[in-house]
A and B are shown apart, each in its own frame.
Chain A
Amino acid sequence: MAAELVVATTDLAMIQAQQAGMKAIGAGLAVGLTGIGTGVAEMGIGAAAVGAIAENKDFFGLGLLFTVIPETIVIFGLVVGLLLLFL
């Protein structure tokens, strides 16, 4: 009887540990993949913005603004990651 209880407790602890691990992997993937997505999106916009700024300095503000708009993607990823870890 006592031996069965010990086995069940060990299983539960293992499952809980696995769940925590899965959460951590999920959070990592959420931040990592959205980070890559943001990078890819910003590559084109950033290159075009730098090209426009090189020709006309007035485009600096607008160029910078457009370049950082895909940052929202990685922020969504970060929020999902935090929700996974702390909720």
Chain B
Amino acid sequence: MGVNISAPYIYVCTRMRMRKAKLLPREEYQRMLNMSVSEITRIIGETEYKQEIDELGTIFKGIDLIEVALSWNLAKEYQKIQEITPGNLKQFTQVYLRRWDIQNVLTILRGKMQGEKPGKIKEILIPAGSLDKVILDRMLSEESSDRIIEMLKTHRMYPVLAREYPAAKESGSFSHMENELYKHLYANIIADAKAGVKGGASFLAYIQLEIDIKNVKTLFRLREDDLEEDARDMFIPGGSLSLLNFTSLNNIKDLNEFIDMIRANIRNGTLHSLLDELKGNKSAHDIEARLTRVQLEQMEKMSKRNPFSIHPILVYLEKKKYEVFNLRAIARGKESRLPADKIMKYLVI
């Protein structure tokens, strides 16, 4: 593994560890589960989200305030990390964060298609990738979706957008295009990691783990939903599974046999122990949350093995993302008056 002991690497990795230590602990979530939305807002306002809550407090109220403040904070945090990471780490971080571009572009296209107002779409954008607030604002002000696609001509996702968008527009569903965009993203990330840049091996190891977990999640989801869609469309190449294995796994009806086959195909100790536990029947969502926990646990292990590599940065990026997701889940759950134990199931702690 590429371990780089140089001062800038040590500096940035320490900063990431410090930031990770500032993330909300488990007890804080448990306390929040017994609070109302306004109390949660107050608690969040005393932590790292203070600036956003103060800034947006006059414009938004209640659940909207939490939602927008969380998104703004996440975007600010990610932009800041891109600023402070040095050399190759910056390149890897930027490549990794490009997934937010896909999410933002798809949100804008979907919003435009459904005739939402630009202001409403803007509330849910997270400008954490290479497309910053200014570009996203320009895209939002465009009336025609074709013009939005044209604006992305220099972006790496343009070839896929240009190829898939006409069909997506005709059918009114962006799901196939979304799958293709993510496949293209992962192919690009793998190509960048394999380009021979120092530290690429550690990055590749993480990306392969992520693809594996994503594919396993998809397989569980497909089992649960009995979807008629072509499973091959949802497969992301680049991990331990091949397309052939993926489709054959999808055709196995018996849960125990299915789990044994996954075990045989993916070598990962933490995942294996989870799969052993899963041999009893569980709901699909619970399995997903647990798979995410396995992924984070594995990332944590990797970051300890390579303390001055891309891993500590990626661990922080992921943990921060899940903190925002958790807070959003708690706030939304409280707003919908869900019981605490039900909200707890959705949290990734």
Contact surface of A with B, Cβ cutoff 8 Å = 43-44, 46-48, 50-52, 54-56
CA distance A47 to B10 in the complex (A): 6
**Contact partner, A47, options B14, B18, B19, B22, Cβ 8 Å:** B14
Majority SS of interface residues in chain A?
helix
Majority SS of interface residues in chain B?
helix
Chain B 4-28 interface 0/1 with A at a Cβ cutoff of 8 Å (1 = within)? 0101101111110011001000000
Contact across chains for B15 and A47 when beta carbons are under 8 A apart:
no
Number of A-B contacts (CB under 8 A): 31
Question: Could you jot down 10 A-B contacts, CB within 8 Å?
Answer: A44-B10, A46-B7, A47-B10, A47-B14, A51-B13, A52-B15, A55-B15, A55-B18, A55-B19, A55-B22
Contact across chains for B7 and A43 when beta carbons are under 8 A apart:
yes
Residues of B within 8 A of A50 (CB): 11
**Known pairs A47-B7, A48-B14. 10 more at Cβ < 8 A?**
A43-B10, A44-B10, A48-B11, A51-B13, A51-B14, A51-B15, A51-B18, A52-B14, A55-B19, A56-B18
Contact across chains for B5 and A52 when beta carbons are under 8 A apart:
no
For the complex formed, measure the closest distance between the CB of A40 and the CB atoms of chain B, giving whole angstroms.
10
Contact surface of B with A, Cβ cutoff 8 Å = 5, 7-8, 10-15, 18-19, 22
Output the nearest chain B residue to A49 by Cβ-Cβ distance: B14
For the complex formed, measure the closest distance between the CB of A73 and the CB atoms of chain B, giving whole angstroms.
18
CA distance A9 to B141 in the complex (A): 97
For the complex formed, measure the closest distance between the CB of B284 and the CB atoms of chain A, giving whole angstroms.
39
Output the nearest chain A residue to B22 by Cβ-Cβ distance: A55
Contact across chains for B5 and A51 when beta carbons are under 8 A apart:
no
- A-B pairs, top 6 by smallest CB distance, nearest first, are A51-B14, A55-B18, A47-B7, A47-B10, A51-B11, A47-B11
For the complex formed, measure the closest distance between the CB of A52 and the CB atoms of chain B, giving whole angstroms.
6
Residues of A within 8 A of B13 (CB): 51
